[in-house]
A and B are shown apart, each in its own frame.
Chain A
């Protein structure tokens, strides 16, 4: 087999790989949801929401944040792995899983962008 043939195969291989990565990553990229649109059908699914903090409570292990946008509000639970510089009124973006706690929907935050 010629080296040039091997190069051609490797380039085709890479291009197919890039195509697969592009298609799947587009699918995986979370589009932003309105807080008001989060419902029980989204339980255990990942969502991305953006809003302002209307209240924030701190416990020894986590922060409990009330996040609002123009469509509604939701509680987001942030486990304390680091300290955040967030205060009431801050605008943040949260990615996390929708869970149910005491018959209310919440988001278990995994990624926070301030």
Chain B
């Protein structure tokens, strides 16, 4: 079994690298493919091995998905907040350092959450059952907080939230197989790429630094805030890494570009590990990958949970080295390629993937969500309001 686990980790790491590097290809898509072919796959292996493959892919994805976010300006929902500070460092020639900072956040965030996991295992069920009935109201409070906190335009923040929310409601009402693919690709992928294409960005030569300019104290503050916000937001459905990052950034007014990148990097990985804790303690799946795991595994035992933690630690080590090596390659080639052609190629790639996997209706959703996704950048507001596409449907689900 041990050798099968190691093979699952390696294959999951390869899959996570691919999903992380290609904007628009989400782990949920691969996890769903695993689920649909599980009858065939289970002839060769066991459910827990398939689950470890998905876990490995999901954890590695939280490390590598920062690469297209920073180098191409094509983020997913969870990395949307890293675009501006990351792009700022990229334009100064410090793209590699920006990636290193998010990797520091991801690795140390993962270690921190695993250290406090025994405490969470003991308290989560009690805490969740006491807040369960208030989830819709908590989501409303968090949403209002996020809108009012926007420093540029609260009205446009509200409009973006509602527009994305209505779009989310409409898309989920269509009963598509992959509703999230065109929706999130448009809101957070193609919209940003079109704007990058229009800006005709010229990148300076990139510097490969061997040391990040951040103090241990700043790292501790970022990880601590990330952990705090993830604990608050991690168990709420629809609330993801982007919202947790906003809540975390409110814990202090003195965020530097570098400490903010550590914070954003930490949160996505912490939220992913918390989703494993949630499925074990309260039997609630908080993301698509964990939904698939819960369908593959009949029951979750403490042994399976420990295997998940072990696999996450192994993958975190692999992901750290892998992400930094890929970042070095990206830093070398990014200034040599035509950035406009690169953006255009990725837009075409995402569009083709959406059409192949979700058909003409998916293409329509992608087009509409791309237009909605451009609003925050054009109005200078924060992109996380677009998460209304998930939050509003969840609020209505709990209220109605």
Contact = CB atoms under 8 A, between A and B. Distances in A.
Same assembly = yes
Interface of A: 1-4, 6-7, 9-22, 24-29, 81-82, 111
A7 B103 CA distance: 11
Contacts of B219: 1
Contacts of B107: 6, 9-10, 13
Going nearest first, the 5 A-B pairs with the smallest beta carbon separation are: A17-B313, A14-B317, A20-B310, A17-B314, A10-B320
A7 B320 contact: yes
21 contacts: A1-B216, A6-B107, A9-B107, A9-B111, A10-B107, A10-B317, A11-B317, A13-B111, A14-B316, A17-B309, A17-B312, A18-B310, A19-B310, A20-B313, A21-B2, A21-B307, A21-B314, A24-B307, A25-B2, A26-B2, A28-B303
Nearest to A2: B211
Contacts of B2: 21-22, 25-26
Contact of B103 (A2, A6, A16): A6
Interface in B299-320: 303, 306-307, 309-318, 320
Contact of A13 (B43, B216, B317): B317
Contacts of A11: 317
Interface in B310-335: 310-318, 320-321, 324
Given A13-B107, A13-B110, 15 more contacts: A1-B214, A1-B219, A3-B100, A3-B210, A3-B211, A7-B320, A9-B107, A12-B317, A13-B313, A17-B315, A20-B306, A20-B307, A21-B6, A25-B307, A82-B43
B138 interface: no
Contacts of B216: 1
Given A3-B210, A3-B324, A6-B107, A24 B303 contact: yes
A72 B142 CA distance: 63
Contact of B104 (A6, A22, A24, A28): A6
B317 A24 contact: no
Interface of B: 1-2, 5-6, 39, 43, 46, 48, 100, 103-104, 107-108, 110-111, 210-212, 214, 216, 219, 303, 306-307, 309-318, 320-321, 324
B279 to A, nearest CB: 17
A22 B134 CA distance: 41
A83 to B, nearest CB: 12
B214 A13 contact: no
A1 B313 contact: no
A19 B313 CA distance: 10
A83 B284 CA distance: 36
A12 B317 CA distance: 8
A11 B303 CA distance: 23
Given A6-B100, A9-B107, A25 B5 contact: yes
